[in-house]
Chain A
Amino acid sequence: MRQRGARRALSRIIPLMAAWLVVACAGAGSGPSAASSGPVEIRQYQGQNLSAISDILETDIAGPQHVSLDTYRLKVSGLVNKPLELTYDQVLGYDHFSKVVTLRCVDGWDATILWEGVRITDILAAAGVRDGAPVVIFHAVDGYTSSLPLAYLQANDILLAYNINGLTLPAEQGFPFMVVAESKWGYKWVKWVDGIELSSDTSYRGYWESRGYDNNGDGSGPMFEP
């Protein structure tokens, strides 16, 4: 009796599962990426395979920020001759550069991405960096901060990215601008940048750095402060 009941239940469940599989497979092929005619995410660049944008996991202190370009200004302040307040378009007016750089997160994942942006040093040159300002502090819309040495920015042509794999940075990935701090741990890659401050304070610690993570943030070095 029991066997017959089980067989009857299976005979009902199996066709339902088969129907669900057919619908799911049909749906997978007609997703928005296949149907849309807009810009498509680049997944290969100069023979190099790229990670998907979705491979960058959300580890932000206050979740994704939604920035309005109507009110957005990138402030360059601190030890500069001419403080700046730049609109999104003004920042995009600087020379553009592209780089494939791997973002490594302390959580254990990484993503190799094509970044397009402007050189941070070009913006700083426009503001005129005063002597005795070896530290550049990045401020984000959500209150997050992190710092990088000015010499590091100059030596590595560090970008302030606005494009990721050929697409405009999504809100989840730091629109309008994100620091591409190559060879540094992910917590140095500030998203939603709205301020660049030149400082003489070499003991400055950003959000995660003041909570135990190493201030140098070198990807090949220690993750934590000694």
Chain B
Amino acid sequence: MFVWLEDKRRIRRIGRWFGWLSLALVLLTMLTGYGITKFRIVDPLTAGILGKAVSQRWHETVGLLVLAALALHVGIALWSRWRGAQD
């Protein structure tokens, strides 16, 4: 079932994608953080999409997603190093 996991290159690629996802989520965390405290700037800049309330709701959720994506990114990187050392 997990034969594709044997393809190290593919796994590394997935790890890299989680890295990019982490970066995007970190940027979103920062933006929503500014959306809470600097709403007078962020709200008009985002055409009202990131108002204070929306920013606050997203900020609370995105934090957990960042941790999950970062953990996967680091975990996959460590795992592929470990597998590489074994081979």
Segment from B8-16, B47-55, B73-81 that makes contact with A: B47-55
A223 to B37, CA, bound (A): 16
Q: Are A211 and B56 in contact (CB under 8 A)?
A: no
Assess whether A175 is interfacial by the CB under 8 Å rule.
Answer: no
Q: Using Cβ atoms and an 8 Å threshold, which residues of chain A touch B66?
A: none
Docked complex Cα distance between A224 and B58 (Å):
12
Q: Once the chains bind, are B56 and A223 in contact (CB under 8 Å)?
A: yes
Q: Smallest Cβ distance from B51 to chain A, in angstroms?
A: 5
Q: Are B53 and A224 in contact (CB under 8 A)?
A: yes
Minimum CB–CB distance from B34 to chain A (whole Å) comes to 12
Q: How far is the CB of B15 from chain A (nearest CB, A)?
A: 33
Q: Whole-angstrom distance between the alpha carbons of A32 and B53 in the complex?
A: 38
Note all chain A residues with C-beta closer than 8 A to B51: 211-212
Asked if A208 and B56 make an inter-chain contact with CB atoms under 8 angstroms apart, the answer reads no
Selected from B37, B40, B56, B57, the residue in CB contact (under 8 A) with A61 is B40
B44: min CB distance to chain A, Å: 12
Chain A window 87-109, contacts with chain B (Cβ cutoff 8 Å), 1 for yes, 0 for no: 00000000000000000001100
The contact string, 1 if C-beta is below 8 Å from chain B, for chain A 50-62, is: 0000000001011
Give the Cβ gap from B37 to chain A, nearest Cβ, in Å.
6
Interface size class of B (residues with CB under 8 A): under 10
Q: How many residues of A contact B (CB 8 A)?
A: 12
A224:B37 contact, CB within 8 angstroms: no
Is B42 close to A, CB under 8 A?
A: no
Cβ–Cβ contact B54 & A212, under 8 A: yes
B69 in the interface (beta carbon within 8 A): no
Q: Is the CB of B53 within 8 A of A212?
A: yes
- With A59-B37, A61-B40, A107-B37 as given contacts, are A208 and B57 in contact (CB-CB < 8 Å)? no
Q: CA of A191 to CA of B40 in the docked complex: distance in angstroms?
A: 17
Instruction: Determine whether the beta carbon of B52 is less than 8 Å from that of A211.
Output: yes
Other than the known A59-B37, A107-B36, A211-B53, what 19 A-B pairs have Cβ atoms closer than 8 Å? A61-B40, A62-B40, A63-B40, A106-B56, A107-B37, A208-B52, A208-B53, A211-B51, A211-B52, A212-B51, A212-B52, A212-B53, A212-B54, A212-B57, A213-B53, A223-B56, A224-B53, A224-B56, A224-B57
Closest 3 A/B residue pairs (Cβ): A212-B53, A211-B53, A211-B51
Interface residues of A (CB under 8 A from B): 59, 61-63, 106-107, 208, 211-213, 223-224
